[in-house]
């Protein structure tokens, strides 16, 4: 176990938690002079981080628009911030967006960002060697209703298991990804369905055993783990929404062309944000488990909605109108 590195990561997330909410708020009017971008401080949000580090957002919005940021630790908090008008646009998993959309169809997915980036890791002391061994075990997920929650439910179906809350035998335990390594060390959970770099950290620092790699977990490479989401109000301002998506597409292209430089920017971003430096070898290993893209697999999102309805997180799986990719397709076609 590498306790020193684990301590660095825990310190990073603790500081990020304090920083969350530091972005300024605005009334969100049509003539607004500020755009508030939300994201998580982890690898699956690399497109937003690179866009900020390379000043792509500032360049596309221009001098008259001030760009501010807000970091959050899970999708539920992201959507709450968007609902309370303190985030205009940003990257979040599709699960929370779907949960909010079926209640209020003013939210939209307007681009892909990252596929994959999620794995299932077992506690080394749990006796879990394969997915079927999750029977009767307690598994950590970032938050109830999260994308990893839905992905785990899909994976369990393949071995005829289901969540205890729905009459099955697998206990879902909501815990912040930053806390999962500690839960492993304390033997408080038997495994975790989590995003990167936390999956690799559980393996490298908490004696975790990889059970499902990113290509095998739920929809694998086809899963749209992180997407760009926004509201009707922001989309109506075509100048702002086009500027954001242009910067986002530039960031995705940069990461595809310059993966090593992109990883260096993530390390720098976290260090500037928290004062802590992340080990580049850990980030490099976790980077191999993501696929950066602007594409969205609409069939996968519908299946996520179906599973969320089965879990009784939402009352309907009707998500027509959720996905609006017209603008990003025009931008990436040029």
User: What pLDDT does residue 14 have?
Assistant: 46
Between residues 187 and 177, the one the model is more confident about: 187
User: What pLDDT does residue 220 have?
Assistant: 86
Number of helices (H) and strands (E), helices first, in the chain? Answer: 14, 11
Distance CA 280, CA 302 (A): 36
Between residues 309 and 30, the one the model is more confident about: 309
Q: What is the pLDDT of residues 35-67, one digit of tens each?
A: 999 998 888 899 999 999 999 999 999 999 999
DSSP code of residue 190: S
Between residues 64 and 30, the one the model is more confident about: 64
Distance CA 214, CA 326 (A): 28
Closest CA to 99 of 141, 149, 146: 146
pLDDT at 227 over 50: yes
User: What pLDDT does residue 2 have?
Assistant: 52
pLDDT band at 315 (very low <50, low <70, confident <90, very high): very high
Rounded mean pLDDT, 146-163: 95
Q: Beta strand 191-195 with 138-141: parallel, antiparallel or unpaired?
A: parallel
8 Å CB contact between 96 and 147: yes
């Amino acid at each position: 176990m590498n306790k020193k590195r684990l301590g660095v990561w825990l310190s990073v997330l603790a500081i990020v938690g304090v920083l969350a909410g530091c972005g300024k708020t605005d009334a969100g009017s049509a003539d607004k002079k500020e755009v508030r971008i939300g994201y998580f401080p982890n690898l699956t949000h690399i497109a937003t981080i690179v866009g900020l580090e390379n000043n792509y957002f500032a360049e596309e919005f221009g001098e008259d628009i001030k760009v501010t940021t807000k970091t959050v630790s899970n999708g539920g908090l992201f959507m709450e911030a968007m609902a309370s008008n303190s985030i205009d646009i940003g990257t979040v998993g599709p699960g929370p967006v779907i949960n909010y959309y079926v209640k209020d169809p003013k939210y939209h997915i307007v681009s892909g960002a990252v596929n994959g980036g999620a794995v299932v890791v077992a506690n080394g002391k749990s006796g879990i060697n394969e997915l079927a061994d999750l029977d009767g075990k307690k598994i950590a997920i970032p938050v109830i209703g999260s994308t990893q929650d839905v992905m785990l439910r899909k994976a369990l179906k393949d071995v005829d298991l289901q969540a205890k809350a729905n009459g099955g035998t697998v206990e879902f335990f909501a815990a912040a990804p930053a806390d999962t390594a500690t839960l492993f060390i304390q033997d408080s959970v038997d495994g975790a369905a989590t995003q990167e770099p936390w999956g690799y950290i559980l393996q490298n620092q908490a004696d975790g055993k990889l059970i499902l790699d990113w290509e095998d977990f739920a929809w694998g490479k086809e899963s749209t783990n992180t997407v760009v989401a926004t509201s009707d109000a922001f989309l109506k301002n075509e100048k702002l929404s086009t500027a954001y998506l242009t910067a986002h597409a530039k960031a995705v292209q940069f990461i595809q062309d310059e993966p090593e430089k992109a990883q260096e920017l993530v390390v720098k971003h976290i260090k500037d944000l928290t004062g802590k430096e992340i080990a580049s070898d850990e980030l490099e290993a976790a980077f191999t488990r993501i696929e950066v893209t602007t594409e969205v697999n609409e069939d996968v999102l519908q299946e996520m909605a179906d599973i969320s309805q089965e879990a009784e997180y939402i009352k309907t799986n009707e998500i027509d109108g959720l996905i609006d990719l017209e603008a990003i397709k025009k931008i990436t076609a040029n």
